[in-house]
Structure formats: C-alpha cells, structure tokens
Amino acid sequence: MTTSLLLTGIGELTTHDPSQDGPLTDAALVIEGGRVAWTGRRTEAPAADASYDVGGRAVIPGFVDSHSHLLFAGDRSEEFAARMTGTPYSAGGIRTTVAATRAASDEQLAANLARLVAEMQRQGTTTVEVKSGYGLTVSDEARGLAIASQGTDETTFLGAHVVPPEYVDDPDGYVALVTGPMLEACAPHARWIDAFCERGAFSVDQARTVLSAGAASGLRGRLHANQLGPGPGVQLACELGLTAVDHCTYLSDDDVAALASSGTVATLLPGVEFSTRSPYPDARRLLDAGVQVALASDCNPGSCYTSSMPLCIALAVREMGMSPAEAVFAATAGGARALGREDVGHLVPGARADVVVLDAPSYIHLAYRPGVPLVQRVWTRGRPLG
Ligand code: NIG
Ligand code: FE
C-alpha cells in the first residue's frame, strides 16, 4: 500500500517547472509512491495520509552531482599543502591515488564510497555520478565499477584517466588495453565512458579512440577537457554530440560557439579551481551564449576533495558570474541534463521525490551564507534520510 505525505508550510518552493515564473511561495508538495504527486498553493493542497510542516523554510530539488571520483583509497593532503605554497597541480598526481587504490581491498573501497555518498546526501545531493579511473588495470577498473554500481545507476568507466606507470613508455598500448579487454570487463557495470583529454593525460586522437570504442559497446560519452589549458577536447565533445563535457575552464570563442550549437552540457567544477588556486571558468560567458551549464563537485582526492554542492553554488555565484537562481538550476536541473535524466533535478509531478529542505527562507541563502550547513532535511525517492 502506498501512503502519501504532504509537505506543507513551504515558504519558498523551487520546482523548476518551466510553466512557472520562479519559485512558489506559501506552498505545499505531496509525495506518493516515491514521486512528486502534486505541488501548489498551501491552501489548495489535497488531503494526504500524513503531513509534515517545514515551518516556512525553502524547499529545492535534491542536487544532481554529475561528476565525481569516489572510488579511491589514500590521502593527498600533503600534495594539497604543497600546492598552497606554490607547487602547481599536474595530472601526474593521479598516479599516487592509483597505487593506494590498487592496494586497497574491495571492502575498503566500498566503505570509502559509502562514507562519501552519505556525506553528500547530508549536504543535499540525491543523485551522484561515480567514475572509475584510479585502478587502471582490467581487474581494478572492473571491481571498482562493480562496487559503484551497487550504489548508483550513474557509473562511468574512466580507464583513460592517466597512463599508468607500467605503460609510460607505451601509451598507445595502454589505449589498446582500455578499448579492448578493459572495456569488455567494465561495460557491464557502466552507463558512461569518459577520458581525460589534457596535456599529461590523453591526446584528442586517443580520446576519440576511447569514446568511439565505448559507444560501440553501448556506453554514452562524456569528457574531461580544457581544465589545465586550452585544447581541442571541447570541440571533440561537441563534434561527437557527447551529453556533457566537464571542466571547460579555458575556452576559445569557437569552443563557446560549438557548445552553444551542439547542446552538449558544459559542466563547471569550481571546487577544482578553488582547491588548485586556478582561474575560474567564465560561466557568464557561457550562459550569455546560450550554453547549457551544470555545476558538479568533481569530488576526488587530488584536485578537489569537497563533496559540497552548496560550496560549488557559492563559488559559482561569487566567482563565476552566475546569479543564485542560475547556480541552483545548474546544480539540480543542469546536472540532470548532464546525465541525460528527466526524472531528477526538478520537482514537477511525476519527478522522483528527491526533496531538500533548507534551514533558510530562500535558496539564495546557499550563496549568501557560504560554508553554513543549511540542509535541514532530505527525502530521497520519497524516503526521509536517516
Ligand atoms: O577531474 N582531471 C582529471 N581528474 C580529476 C583529478 C584527479 C586527481 O588529481 O586525482 C579531476 O580534476
Ligand atoms: Fe574529474
């Protein structure tokens, strides 16, 4: 038997319903069968089996974090400390985590993943994409994705994260491994394929080879590109019609035009620029050009060890020219687009009931009160968290 729950006393309800001009005030929302069944004025709410009064607080859709690397072991806090005193970030640091991840047991990897997913949920994230990419052998990549697929539908095979130490003299041999036996072992546990197209990682031709092989195995493509400098990755993503291209920190006018006409979502990861002390991507330029923008955490032990979508929103508003409304949209509906999902990232009837109550009167407080734990309650698929 399904029971319905009425959330009432909502001071401000952000639904992202395109037929509404901004959030509803003095609102209510009904959850039934794990889905949103109704939204509207509090005084017009239908009867439900149970009700919960949120006391005038703001309600938003759960965050959709479309980019994270939670399958790892080890710690790189010393690398972070060195960076803060002048050592630049480089892709090569990934190999430190590869060594620790290979040495970890399945139980350790699963426990670390569960700890980080729980940390994200407490901060309002209700959908998370998880990449492999710190195993870089056939068995280490496959076991990581098998573990991740128990916790999320959004799993990404990132065998092409960096060339592992045993292949440094034969990078094309490594690409052949990734597109051959590694892809075969990983595809059953993954929805997406990704590559790190950057100096120090993979060339545009290697990335194309990896993405094409993934597509032939039924995996949809996404790409890390233009993070550390300008490059051809964003153009490749647009040409291939990938769902999303992530980082987009260094973009030419042609890159912006290609994004605007392709429909590929540009996923911005401001926690990386914060944690590597780098220039932020120009979100305003992208939005003004009509590019679809998402915000995600990129939570990983190297370039950005935050799991906090509210921090990413605050940085996007303060440093990247986004309005609070644009940033919250990018962290919810934008993330859903970046994952090709229509059931999450908004709160219109029929959507998954992923609901976040903020201890604040408005979503604007997510940027206005940076660093403050404002997430008061979370429902995932209509079930209350903890
Ligand atoms: O998205 N850019 C590539 N991968 C990660 C960094 C991983 C690491 O430094 O361990 C990123 O920033
Ligand atoms: Fe990443």
Backbone angles phi, psi at 366, to 5 degrees: -60, -30
> Residue 308 carries which DSSP code?
-
CA 225 to ligand 1 center in whole angstroms: 11
Protein residue closest via CA to atom 12 of ligand 1? 303
Radius of gyration in angstroms for the set of CA atoms belonging to the chain, rounded to a whole number:
21
- In this structure, CATH architecture of domain 4-62+346-384: Roll (2.30)
pLDDT at position 221 is 98
The model carries a pTM of 0.98
Distance 272 CA to ligand 2 centre (A): 9
Same fold, 4-62+346-384 and 63-338: no
Q: What residue has token string 């009700």?
A: 51
Q: Which residues contact residue 337 at a Cβ distance below 8 angstroms, ignoring those fewer than 6 apart?
A: 243, 244, 265, 292, 294, 345
From the number of C-beta atoms within 10 Å of its C-beta (0-12, 13-18, 19+), residue 150 rates as exposed
What pLDDT score was predicted for residue 37? 98
Residue 216 CA to ligand 2 center (angstroms) comes to: 23
CA of 133 to the centre of ligand 1 (A): 9
Ligand 1 touching residue 335 (CB < 6 A): no
Question: CB–CB of 249/283 below 8 Å?
Answer: no
Strand, coil or helix: what is 267?
A: strand
298-340 tens-digit pLDDT:
999 999 999 999 999 999 999 999 999 999 999 999 999 999 9
User: Per-10-residue mean pLDDT for the chain, 386 residues long?
Assistant: 91 96 96 98 97 98 98 96 93 91 98 98 98 98 97 96 96 98 98 96 98 98 97 98 98 98 98 97 98 98 98 98 98 98 98 98 98 98 93
CA nearest ligand 1 atom 9, residue = 302
Domain 63-338 sits in CATH at: 3.20.20.140
Determine the residue type at 331.
Answer: A
Q: What is the pLDDT of residue 1?
A: 62
Instruction: Give pLDDT, residue 91.
Output: 80
The pLDDT of residue 386 is: 76
- Which token pair is 67? 């980019």
Residue 52's pLDDT is: 97
Q: Which of 69, 248, 272, 276 to mutate to test the pocket of ligand 1 (most atoms within 8 A of CB)?
A: 69
pLDDT value of residue 322: 98
- For the chain, the domains span 4-62+346-384, 63-338
